[in-house]
Amino acid sequence: MSQLDNMLQKAVTTVPECVAAGFIDLASGMLLGVKTVDSHPQEVVELLAAATADLFQGANVVAIEKLFRTARGVPEDGQHYFQEVIVNSNNLIHVFLRGKRQQQVAAFVCRKGANLGMVLAKARIAMPEIEAGL
């Protein structure tokens, strides 16, 4: 198992009620690693990278960030406004955290009953180790 796989597995066990963790490279659109505790349809796993890229760098998101920069007189420096995205579905909490390098995102999928504050805290703690595993 690779270092990234080890760190994703550790995150699955430390983030409350986590059923899956993945690491996505936005520049290439690739899913770099994924660990799950339940069986997930392969189609969903394959679409994870594309859906995450849309969340963080879809055309409308890029346009909004450009408008914010222009309105605030901030030059383009590679930093993005949207660093975390939380999606609540019927049965799950999906937390997406952008990495320090700004081009990778970790995704954590937890059962709906998890405490969202603890999910965020533990996911944020796991992020540096996941990035170091790359």
**pTM score:** 0.91
What average pLDDT does range 21-27 have in this prediction?
94
What average pLDDT does range 3-11 have in this prediction?
96
**Residue by residue, what is the 3-state secondary structure of the chain?**
CCHHHHHHHHHHHHCCCEEEEEEEECCCCEEEEEEECCCCCHHHHHHHHHHHHHHHHCHHHHHHHHHHHHHHCCCCCCCCCCCEEEEECCCEEEEEEECCCCCEEEEEEEECCCCHHHHHHHHHHHHHHHHHCC
Domains of the chain: 3-132 (3.30.450.30)
**Given pLDDT bands bounded at 50, 70 and 90, which one contains residue 85?**
very high
**What's at 105, amino acid-wise?**
V
Question: Which two structure tokens, joined as six digits, stand for 6?
Answer: 């080890």
- With a cut of 90, say whether residue 46 has pLDDT above it: no
Query: What pLDDT shows up at residue 29?
Result: 87
- With a cut of 90, say whether residue 109 has pLDDT above it: yes
- Computed on alpha carbons and rounded to an integer, the radius of gyration of the chain in Å comes to 15
- 40 against 4, higher pLDDT: 4
Question: Which two structure tokens, joined as six digits, stand for 72?
Answer: 């605030």
C-alpha 2 chain-centroid distance: 19
Query: What pLDDT shows up at residue 77?
Result: 83
Query: What pLDDT shows up at residue 39?
Result: 75
Question: Which two structure tokens, joined as six digits, stand for 45?
Answer: 């796993």
Query: What pLDDT shows up at residue 1?
Result: 61
